[in-house]
Amino acid sequence: MKIGIITFHAVYNYGAVLQAYALENALIDMGCEAEIIDFRRKQQADYTSLYSNRNGIKSIIKNALLLPLHKKRKMRANKFETFFNTRLKLSAARYTEENQLTNCDKIYSTVIAGSDQVWNTTKKYDVSRAYFLDFIKDNKCLKVSYAASIGSASYEDLLLYKEDIKKFSYISMREKRGCEIISKLINREVAFVLDPTLMLNEKHYETLISESDYPVEGKYLLYYSLDGVDKKNRNFDILEKLAEKFGLKVKAILPERPFRYKNFDIINDVGIQDFLKLIQSAELICTNSFHGTALSIALQKPFFVLEKFDGKDDRKQTLLQLLDCKERQISDIHQINEISGYAMNLEEVQKRLQMERNKSKEFLENIIKMRDL
């Protein structure tokens, strides 16, 4: 029987889509029949909408500001939809309500929750017991989490889901903090594994990149962020100074356009393959995104993480510590004066990454063996 994966896959977000694609393909490469359970909650409809209506007057104002970008954003949405339909192996049925999932334990021998922030119970539009696999009633169907993330959720936030989590046969998390909290919650050992995007090697991504005809030229610094333009423009000031120091142009993939930084090339129209091509072709990546960091590592590109860590959400910090890249964090513009160059010892990073890949693969192999017994 098949393995079903339940995660955030139908969103216009490069990292979310690529982690779903990567886990599915990692399992297929290991000889499994795997597919993504096409679960799309009505509350998550904004994730595949060009304009939001969640926040009343704030949404109206934001939507009005985005109108000049409509054509490019529509192009981007079409590219995402094409990727969903051609590159993701989805279940025959689409589910929009939790109670529609009750037949899944007859279809799959194993269901995997993850990766991404499927256990972040502070994200009100994403919280669902479906991601804790409460719809699996048949004990013969293995319940597994792979690289699930709790994001900024606390022990107290997760208490409500304690009994659901205890019913999992295998549990693995993407961050050390998540491992500690879930282990304390259920009094069991919890495995630490890599995000699926780091399970695929550069060659695999090059296959996707070869499908892109997005024009890329010149030497540039690529900035990728999911955040809007903050009032202090802290990261943009850092970018401007880094670009000047290293003689690079700035290309920025952002949800909106910063009016003050006219010399930045703001990109709003790229799909998954184009996104990977822009990373691969850049001289340097700057990001405050977890998956922006992970994909820079997977594609062996030098990077800086522009963020202060507050201890509540350790997604990027875990990754930097794991691969001994803590010096790649810039939290203050004054640090740039101390940076002499942006080159990295990528060979050493890849050695450490391969060791972690082997451990994560072993976790998945154990699940496959148990499923086949």
DSSP codes joined into one string, 130-193: GGGTTT---TTSEEEEEEE--TT--HHHHGGGHHHHHT-SEEEESSHHHHHHHHHHHTS--EE-
Can you read off the two tokens belonging to residue 186?
């259920």
- pLDDT tens for each residue of the chain, 373 residues long: 699 999 999 999 999 999 999 999 999 999 999 999 999 987 665 555 666 666 666 666 666 666 656 788 888 999 999 999 999 999 999 999 999 999 999 999 999 999 999 999 998 778 899 999 999 999 899 999 999 999 999 999 999 999 999 999 999 999 999 999 999 999 999 999 999 999 999 999 999 999 999 999 999 999 999 876 554 567 888 999 999 999 999 999 987 665 556 788 989 899 999 999 999 999 999 999 999 999 999 999 999 999 865 555 578 989 999 999 999 999 889 999 999 999 999 999 999 999 999 999 999 999 998 877 5
| In contact, 43 and 316? CB cutoff 8 Å | no
**How far from 28 is each of 2, 32, 87, 215, CA to CA, in Å?**
11, 5, 13, 32
Collect all residues with Cβ–Cβ distance below 8 Å to 242 and sequence separation of at least 6: 221, 248, 284, 286, 304, 336, 339, 342
User: How far is 8 from 15, CA to CA, in rounded Å?
Assistant: 10
Predicted pLDDT of residue 68: 57
**What residues contact residue 241 under an 8 Å CB cut-off, 6+ apart?**
333, 336
pTM summary value: 0.92
Predicted confidence at residue 256, as pLDDT, reads 66
Q: Which two tokens stand for residue 251?
A: 């290309």
pLDDT attached to residue 65: 62
Residue with tokens 């399970």: 199
- Dihedral over alpha carbons 25, 29, 32, 36 (to 10 degrees): 0
pLDDT of residue 231: 47
Match 């995997």 to its residue by tokens: 112
Cα dist from 63 to 68, 145, 267, 299, whole Å = 10, 36, 18, 34
What are the chain's domains? 2-199+354-372 (3.40.50), 207-342 (3.40.50.2000)
Q: Is the peptide bond before 183 cis (omega within 30 degrees of 0)?
A: no
Residue 226 tokens read as 């999911």
CB-CB neighbours of 353 under 10 Å: 20
**Nearest alpha-carbon partner for 283 in 247, 322, 319, 317:** 247
Specify the amino acid at residue 178.
G
